[in-house]
A = this chain, B = another copy of it.
Amino acid sequence: MVHADSSRFAAGMSTKEVYAQVLEQARTLFDGQRNWVCNFSNTAALLWHAYHSLPAPSNAVNWSGFYFTNPSNPRQLILGPFQGQVACQSIAYGRGVCGKAADTKVTQLVEDVEKFPGHIACDGASKSEIVVPIVKDGKVVAIIDIDCAELNGFTSEDQAALEELAQLLAESCDF
């Protein structure tokens, strides 16, 4: 199997089956490779193509990727690998959905970003969002950020799978 086939998802799979493939392929891709930039880049691709293989609202995901904590400024997130349109270069801890997840170490599942206090609109097309902190040795090293162009794009099923992925990334990567 060539690498690109890792992110080709068969049509008609359930959300549960698609996330199982994401996690299985991520484990395979991380085997023998601990560089976080490499592993985040491939994971952003896995997630993008996973969502686009599913029915609405998942196929309306318009951004999948990461922000990482600035090693020189532990209260700032910097843009990491992603798939989608160009995004904000940096976000202060505490600001918007990403900043709140980083600041509180708690997943933010936002049904309507317009109702989230201090929401940062990198893309006016985004309507809902989920942000999951990646915590290593008690510190937030990065966050997973997924945007959707439909309201209510994410459920507790997404949250559980992405939190499992965040834990795998924390364990599998050197930062």
Contacts and interface: CB of A to CB of B under 8 A. Distances in A.
Contact of A89 (B25, B42, B90): B42
Interface of A: 2-8, 25, 29, 32-33, 35, 37-38, 41-42, 45-46, 49, 65, 68, 70, 78-90, 121-125
B86 A29 contact: yes
A38 B86 contact: no
A41 B80 contact: yes
Nearest to A85: B4
A45 B79 CA distance: 12
23 contacts: A2-B121, A3-B89, A3-B122, A4-B87, A4-B123, A4-B124, A5-B86, A6-B85, A7-B85, A7-B86, A32-B89, A33-B78, A35-B78, A35-B89, A37-B81, A38-B78, A38-B90, A41-B80, A42-B87, A42-B89, A45-B84, A80-B81, A81-B81
Nearest to A126: B4
A82 B83 CA distance: 7
Given A4-B123, A33-B90, 6 more contacts: A7-B86, A32-B89, A33-B78, A35-B89, A37-B81, A41-B79
Contacts of A88: 3
Contact of A122 (B4, B46, B84, B123): B4
A86 B45 contact: yes
